[in-house]
Amino acid sequence: MKRSAAGRLVGYGRVCAASCVVVLLLAGGVWASWGTAHHIVLDEGREHGTMAVTGCGEDVCSGSFSPDARSVPRGGVTIERSVAVGEGDRFPVVVKPGTGEVVRTGVPGFLHAWVPLGGALVLAAVVIAGGLRLSRVAWGAGVAGGVLLGAVFVAL
């Protein structure tokens, strides 16, 4: 049975709306991830070292900073509190330019920075499956997001 013009228009509208939501979710995930990830990915010329966490507050943890050969000593640094940071931990970090804040580096830091993108991929998979009716693409996006989130869990 042929669909009417109104039925086709509703179908195109559904696809357009779902596509916009998917693009918005993925762009938001990349944007939220890039705020931290660019300090790790583009670390050339930044101060590197090791942080030893001495105390944690509600939002941030603080500790001492041991610079590498190219960096200058600092009195103390802070890092955003997360499940992966606890008192007594030591890990490699890079200092955000112009601040006393640091970001964890290495594979665990890199993966942790991309957690928002992993969540966005999982959410986008639901919209891709339901709104765009592309089940294979949805499974691919969902599995990619799940693997990223699982890798972060294992790495940290």
For 109-154, the pLDDT digits (tens) are 999 999 999 999 999 999 999 999 999 999 999 999 999 999 999 9
Cα distances from 45 to residues 60, 69, 100, 101, 114, in angstroms, run: 25, 12, 16, 16, 22
pLDDT of residue 141: 98
CA torsion angle 34 37 42 46 (round to 10): 120
For the whole prediction, is pTM greater than 0.95? no
Q: Where are the alpha helices (DSSP H) in the chain?
A: 5-41, 106-113, 115-127, 135-155
Under DSSP, the state recorded for 96 is: P
pLDDT of residue 88: 87
Predicted confidence at residue 18, as pLDDT, reads: 96
What whole-number distance in Å separates Cα of residue 24 and Cα of residue 148?
Answer: 19
pLDDT at 75: 81
Which residues of the chain carry a pLDDT beneath 70? 1, 83
Domain ranges within the chain, ordered by starting residue: 21-43+106-156, 44-104
- Please name the residues in contact with 110: beta carbons below 8 A apart, sequence gap of 6 or more: 37, 40, 41
User: Looking at residue 85, what is its pLDDT?
Assistant: 81
Any residues with CB less than 8 A from the CB of 136 and at least 6 apart, and which?
Answer: none
Please tell me the predicted confidence (pLDDT) of residue 71. Answer: 82
* Sheet with 60-67, edge to edge strand ranges: 74-80, 60-67, 48-56, 90-95, 102-104
